[in-house]
Structure 1
Amino acid sequence: MADAIPAGGRNRFDLAELAGAFGDLGTLIPFVVAYVSILKVDPTGLLLGVGGALIAAGLVYRTPVPVQPMKAIGAIAIAQTAGSAVLTPATVVGAGLVTGVFWLLLAVSGLATKLARLVPAQVLIGIVMGLGLSFMREGIGMMGQNAWLAAAVLVVALVLLARSRLPAMLVLLLIGVAVALCAQPTLADRLALIRPDFRLPSFAWPSLAANDLWQGALLLALPQLPLTFGNGLVALVDENNREFADRPIEVRRVALTTGLMNVWASAIGGIPMCHGAGGMAGHVRFGARTGGASILLGGLLVVLALCFGDSLLLILQLFPAPVLGVVLFLAGAELAISGRTQDAERGGRFVVLTTAALATWHVGIAALYGCLFVWAARRGWIRA
C-alpha cells in the first residue's frame, strides 16, 4: 500500500479516491431511505450529520475510516416504527445523544482501550471474518431483487477490479443510473425539476423529552453497544493498522470520535453513527487509500443536505438495489479475506471459524464466546 499513498500520508483527492468514496453505499443508502421514508427523520439533519462526521474523520485519521449508520439501532427503530409506530425521530435523537455520551466516557476514562486489550487475536480475526460474511449475505439478498442484472454487474465489477485501470465503482454507479432511468421512464423528468433549496437543520435537543432519552437508551442504544465495540472499534482499529501501518489509529481516539460525532448528529436531528471495519473494506476495495475519500463523500453529502435535502428520496432512486448489493457483496469479500488466519494450530482455527459463524448472527455474543473459549482453553478446561 505504501507506493499508493502520498509522501507523509497526506490526503489525496483524485479519481481513485473518488471511486473508493462510494464503496460503502450498499450500507448507507438503504438505511437513509428507511430512516427518511418510515421514521420521517429530517433528511437535512441526517445527511449533514453523516457528511460532517466523514469530513472530520478524513482530516483526523488520513485513512478511509468510514462513517455509517449504526445498524442495530437503525434496524430496531425502523422495524418498531413500521410495525407499531411507537418510535419517533426524537427517540432516534435521544439514542444518538446517549450513545455519544457513553462513548465519550469510555474514551476519556481509558476503559475502551482496556476492554479492547481483552480480545484475543483469534477472536478478533473471527469477528472480522464473520462481519465480512454477513455483508456478503446482505449483498446477496439485495442482488436477489434482480438476479440477472446483479450477475452481469458483478462480472463487470470483477473484470474491472482485476484488469482495468478504470475506477470500477464509478462504472458501477453509471450502470446503476442507466438501469434506473430505463426502468423508470419518468424519473429523468422528475429529476430535471429539482432545484437547489438551501435549508439548515433545526436544533433538536430542546424538543427532547425524558421519555425520548429513556426509550432511546433502553430500546436502541443498549442493543447497539456490543456491535459498535466489535465492528466499529476493535475490528476497525485492526483493519486500519494492517492496511495502513504507516498511519495507525488508536482505540481511544476511535471511541472519542464515535462519541463526538453522535453528539454532533443528535444536536441537528441526525441519526446514530459509528465507524466500521466493513465500511473501510468497501472503500479500500474500490480504490481509496487516504482520508480524501471520506472528505469527498462527506462534502457531497453536505451539499445534498443543505441544498437538496427535500429531494433526497427521489435522487436515491438512481441507485438500484441489485447494484448496491454487488457493492456490499464485494466489500464483504474484501473484509472476510482480510480476516484470514495463518494460525496452523487446530485450536486457533476452531476459535476463528466458530467466532466467525456467530459473528454473522450477533457480534457481541461472538466476542463474548470467543473470549470465554480462549480463556477456558488457556486454563486447560476445554480443548478444541
Structure 2
Amino acid sequence: MEYRNNQISQNQANHITSQTAPNHPNSAFPAMVFDQVRTNLVFKSRWAELNGAMGDLGTYIPIVLALTLARDLNLGTTLIFTGLYNIITGAIYGVPMPVQPMKSIAAVAISNPNFGVPELMASGILTGGVLFALGVTGLMDLVYKLIPLCVVRGIQLAQGLSFALTAVKYIRKIQDLPKSKAKGERPWFGLDGLVLAIVCACFIIVVNGAGEELHQPVADEGHGDDSAENEEDKKPSRWERIIGSLPSAFMVFLLGVILAFIRKPNIVDKINFGPSSMEVVKISGRAWKDGFIKGTIPQLPLSILNSVIAVCKLSSDLFPERQFSATSLSVTVGLMNIVGCWFGAMPSCHGAGGLAGQYKFGGRSGACVALLGAAKMVLGLVLGTSFAVILNQFPVGVLGVLLLFAGIELAMASRDMKTKEESFVMLVCTAVSLVGSSAALGFVCGIFAYLLLGLRKMGRNKPCSIIWIQGTP
C-alpha cells in the first residue's frame, strides 16, 4: 500500500509538472529535481533536526582538532568543504547522511610525524579514486549484494563498540588529542570533570531515553479492543512529550562552547576573523607513495565496509521508505575526496556511526546535515583556522558523552539477528575487528565462519538458507 501511495504521489507530481510547463518539455526535469531537493531539505521538526545535527560531532571534532594541532591541517578549508559536502548530501539523499573524517588515515597521520599534509591529501585522493571507480563500474553494488547481513552487523557492532569504548576513555581520562594519548585520570570536579560528563549523560538519557524503536509490532487481527488499549498505553504522557521536545544534544554542545570560553577567556584575543588562505596542495612522488601504502591501503576496507556497505544497510533500516544504492554512496565519497583534498580539506567519508548518532538525537531529513553544513561554512569563512583555539578548550568529557550515545545507537542495529548461527558469525566478526583493530580482518574471519557454517549444512536434505542483504537470490 505504501509503495502504491508513493507511486500515485509521483504520478500526481508528474501531472502537475506537465500542466505547469506544457510548452517547455525540457523544463520538466529541472523542475522535478528542484522539487525533490526542496522536499529533501524540509525540516521534519525544527528542534529535532537541530538536535540531530549534533549527533556526529563526538567523532568529527576530536579528529579534526587533532589533525589541525598536530599536522597543521587547514581547519578553515576543511570546515568550508565538509560543510559543502553536508549540504549537498542532505539535498541528494534527504536523510541525515553524515560526513566524517577517514579514521584510519587520520590515525596514521596523528601517530606518524612523517605523515604530513601532502601524504594525508594523497591518501584521501587515492582512496576517493578507488571508491569512485568501484561506484561507476557497479562493482560496489555487487559487493553489497553478496555480503551476508550477519557480517555487516558484525562490522556495525564492532564500530559502535569501538566508538563507545573511545567515548568512555574520553570521559574517564584527560586527553592529549594532538598525540591521541591519555594524560591521567580526569578529576571529579571542574569545568571538564567527571561530574559534568555524568550530568550531561544523565540529561540525555532522561530526554532521549533508549531511542526510537525501528520496527513497531503489528497488531494481530481479531484483537481490535486489545490493540486499541495497547496503542493507548504506548502514547507518551504529557511529561514525556515536554521532556522529549528538548534538544538535548544541542544544549549539551552549547554548554561545552560556553565552558570553553569560561575555561580560558583570553582565547578571544587569539581569534583572527576571515577565511584561511586556500591553495592547491603540492604532492611529491614520495608523498603519493607513502600516502597509498600507509594511508589508502588500510583505509579502503574500512571505507568500503563502514562508509558504504554499513551505511547503505543502516539507512534502509532507519528509513525504509528511502532506498539508496551502494553505487551512489561510493560515488559521493569518491567525489568528495577527489575534489576537496587537492585544496587541503580533510579526507572525508560517510559513516554508519554518524548516521546512527544523528538519528539518535532526532535527525530525520536532509535539513539536519544541511543545517550543520551551513554552520561549518560560516565558521570556516568567519573564523578560519583560528576556530581551533576554541575547540581546543572544549570539554573533552562532553564530546565523549556525545560519542558514547552515537556508538551505542550504532551497536544496537545488530540486535535483529534471528538465529544462533547469524549471531555466531556476527560476534566472530566483531571480536576480531575489535581485538585486531582491523575491520578488514574481522570481515575476512566473518566471511570464513559464514562459509564454514554453510559447508557444514551441505549434507542435510534441506538446502541451507542463505540470507543476503538484498534478499534470497
TM-score, structure 1 as length reference: 0.91
- 1:73/1:224 contact within 8 Å kept: yes
2:277 aligned with 1:196: no
State the distance in 2 between where 1:53 and 1:180 align. Answer: 27
- 2:276/2:381 contact within 8 Å kept: yes
The Cα offsets for residues 77-130 of structure 1, whole Å up to 9 and x where unpaired, read as 11001xxxx122111111111112111111111111122222101111221122
RMSD: 2.1
- 1:285/1:331 contact within 8 Å kept: yes
The Cα offsets for residues 189-247 of structure 1, whole Å up to 9 and x where unpaired, read as 4326745314451122xx22111111111111111111111110111000001101112
- Of 83, 89, 92, the residue aligned with 1:51 is 83
State the distance in 1 between where 2:299 and 2:72 align. Answer: 21
2:198 paired residue number: 151
* Mean Cα deviation higher: 310-319 or 219-228: 310-319
> What is the CA distance between 1:188 and its match in structure 2?
3.2
Classify 1:318/1:286 alpha carbon distance in 2 versus 1 (closer, same or farther; 3 Å): farther
Tell me the percent identity: 31
Moved over 6 A (4+): none
2:53 aligned with 1:21: yes
Classify 1:304/1:174 alpha carbon distance in 2 versus 1 (closer, same or farther; 3 Å): closer
2:309 aligned with 1:234: yes
2:298 aligned with 1:223: yes
- Of 138, 144, 150, the residue aligned with 1:110 is 138
SS at match of 1:23: helix
Q: Structure 2 unaligned runs (5+)?
A: 3-34, 174-192, 210-239, 460-473
Counterparts of residues 1-384 of structure 1 (less than 5 Å): 10-13=40-43, 14-81=46-113, 86-145=114-173, 146-162=193-209, 163=240, 164=243, 165-182=245-262, 184=263, 187-191=264-268, 194=271, 196-204=273-281, 207-317=282-392, 319-343=394-418, 345-360=419-434, 361-380=437-456
SS at match of 2:362: coil
> What is the CA distance between 1:32 and its match in structure 2?
0.9
The Cα offsets for residues 157-190 of structure 1, whole Å up to 9 and x where unpaired, read as 11121341111111211332343344x2xx3343
2:30 paired residue number: none
SS at match of 2:52: helix
- 1:91/1:213 contact within 8 Å kept: yes
Classify 1:194/1:77 alpha carbon distance in 2 versus 1 (closer, same or farther; 3 Å): closer
SS at match of 1:117: helix
- Report the number of matched residues: 368
Classify 1:199/1:174 alpha carbon distance in 2 versus 1 (closer, same or farther; 3 Å): closer
- 1:49/1:264 contact within 8 Å kept: no
Equivalent residue letter for 1:153: C
- 1:144/1:150 contact within 8 Å kept: no
Classify 1:353/1:198 alpha carbon distance in 2 versus 1 (closer, same or farther; 3 Å): closer
Equivalent residue letter for 1:57: T
State the distance in 2 between where 1:11 and 1:357 align. Answer: 39
SS at match of 1:248: coil
- 2:152/2:309 contact within 8 Å kept: yes
* Mean Cα deviation higher: 283-292 or 11-20: 11-20
TM-score, structure 2 as length reference: 0.74
Equivalent residue letter for 1:363: A
2:190 paired residue number: none
- 1:231/1:276 contact within 8 Å kept: yes
State the distance in 1 between where 2:377 and 2:79 align. Answer: 6
State the distance in 1 between where 2:270 and 2:42 align. Answer: 35
The Cα offsets for residues 304-360 of structure 1, whole Å up to 9 and x where unpaired, read as 2222113121121453110010101011111111221241x3222211222222233
Equivalent residue letter for 1:154: A
Higher-Rg member (1/2)? 2
Classify 1:193/1:69 alpha carbon distance in 2 versus 1 (closer, same or farther; 3 Å): closer
* Mean Cα deviation higher: 114-123 or 354-363: 354-363
> What is the CA distance between 1:15 and its match in structure 2?
2.0
SS at match of 1:347: helix
State the distance in 2 between where 1:215 and 1:241 align. Answer: 37
* Mean Cα deviation higher: 353-362 or 326-335: 353-362
State the distance in 2 between where 1:132 and 1:142 align. Answer: 15
State the distance in 1 between where 2:318 and 2:247 align. Answer: 20
State the distance in 1 between where 2:248 and 2:290 align. Answer: 43
Equivalent residue letter for 1:175: L
SS at match of 2:415: coil
- 1:129/1:340 contact within 8 Å kept: no
SS at match of 1:340: helix
State the distance in 1 between where 2:133 and 2:397 align. Answer: 40
State the distance in 1 between where 2:275 and 2:157 align. Answer: 43
- 2:72/2:117 contact within 8 Å kept: yes
- 1:119/1:367 contact within 8 Å kept: no
* Mean Cα deviation higher: 147-156 or 239-248: 147-156
